[in-house]
Amino acid sequence: MKRREFVSLLCATAVASPFAARAQPNAKLPTIGVLGVATALGWKPSIAAFVQRLSDLGWVGGRNINIEYRWAEGHSERFAALADSLVRSNVDVIVTAGGAVVPAKQATTAIPIIFAVASDPIGTGLVASLAHPGGNVTGLSVQAAELAGKRVELLRELIPNLRRLAIIANPDYAAAAREMSEVQAAGRALKLETEIFEIHESKDISNAIARLQGSGEVLYVCIDPLTDTNQITIAKLTTAARIPTMPAFREAVRAGALIYYGPNTEELFRRAADFVDKVLRGTKPADIPVEQPSKFDLVINIKAAKALGITVPQGLLVAADEVIE
């Protein structure tokens, strides 16, 4: 090739390169499908933590990834259809939690699924083992049995004369049904009377709390999409009814409930972003061990305690990760 032709070729390449660079964004970006069990508002802090961690890892929405959201808004019967919708959208990985994980797995054996929280991934058949999940599912596991017992013990420590414990639970939701049984067992061990208030839809929650008003009972709320969606409402209703409450979610304590003990959900979603990062970079879910949270947060609402005439023991105040005044 003559020198003049060679220089011309270089110039042509230099001119063409910017056009090639601009064409790249038109290629399909990796897409993360988020299947939310509750509402976008209820999951806002967790999703913000998830998206921020993705950004820290180099994944920015609209630049080198897309994120598609589906919200069940507390209706577990919608999980399967929403999971199918994400599969039909051909997402590259699905992120979800709780009872939505099983429907997601039933919808696909090919697309990687990351659960930000699941109470019994082995028992529900999501993974073969924590160390070697196998299949297309992995994530973060919370063992509810241990949590239920500790939560009841904390209520007894906070209210030494506690004799009766009311439990709100949706027995149609497998994880809530298990937790309900675990709370009852913990109550029996501490010689507490327990009473179950079953809920199946939002109106059942307000009806149950109305029945509890003035009963002298303390309320334990089991986790499920329905209580997730209505966590702020539960906090407001129990505060107005002067019912000491152990809610299923941390945000409820910030909204007026008495005490929360459990995993930091925002931290779980941050860790879920690390799992997504590994999958998008080529690691198979089968080769990513399921993690368990090493730390649980204790949050106490002092303002609520004072309104209820409860004196919080100094030991609990010192142990608390957050005290709301």
Domain coordinates of the chain in residue numbers? 27-142+265-287, 144-262+297-324
Across the chain, what does the average pLDDT equal? 89
E strand or H helix that includes residue 84: helix 79-88
What distance in Å separates the CA atoms of residue 44 and residue 69, rounded to the nearest whole number?
12
State whether CATH 3.40.50.2300 applies to domain 27-142+265-287. yes
Which candidate, 99, 117, 262, 83, places its Cα nearest to that of 177? 99
Q: Which amino acid is at 22?
A: R
Is pLDDT larger for residue 309 or for residue 3? 309
What helix, strand, coil percent values describe the chain, rounded to 5?
A: 45, 20, 35
Domain range 144-262+297-324, CATH architecture: 3-Layer(aba) Sandwich (3.40)
pLDDT digits (tens, 9 = 90+) for 220-258: 999 888 898 888 899 999 999 999 999 998 889 989 999
Residue 251 burial (10 A CB sphere; 0-12, 13-18, 19+) = buried
Which candidate, 276, 256, 240, places its Cα nearest to that of 138? 276
pLDDT digits (tens, 9 = 90+) for 182-203: 999 999 999 999 999 999 998 9
Confidence check: pLDDT of 149 > 70: yes
Contacts with 47 (C-beta within 8 Å, 6 or more apart), sequence order: 34, 36, 40, 269
- Same-fold call for 27-142+265-287 versus 144-262+297-324: yes
| pLDDT at site 143 | 67
Q: Confidence band (pLDDT; 50, 70, 90) for 68? A: very high
Residue positions counted in the chain: 325
Q: What is the pTM of this model?
A: 0.80
Q: Confidence band (pLDDT; 50, 70, 90) for 36? A: very high
**In b/e form, how buried is each residue of 219-240, taking b as 16+ CB within 10 angstroms?**
bbbbbbbbbbbbbbbbbbbbbe
How do strand 322-324 and strand 93-96 relate by DSSP bridges? Answer: unpaired
What distance in Å separates the CA atoms of residue 268 and residue 272, rounded to the nearest whole number?
6
Average pLDDT over residues 142-147: 72
Tokens matching residue 42: 């209820």
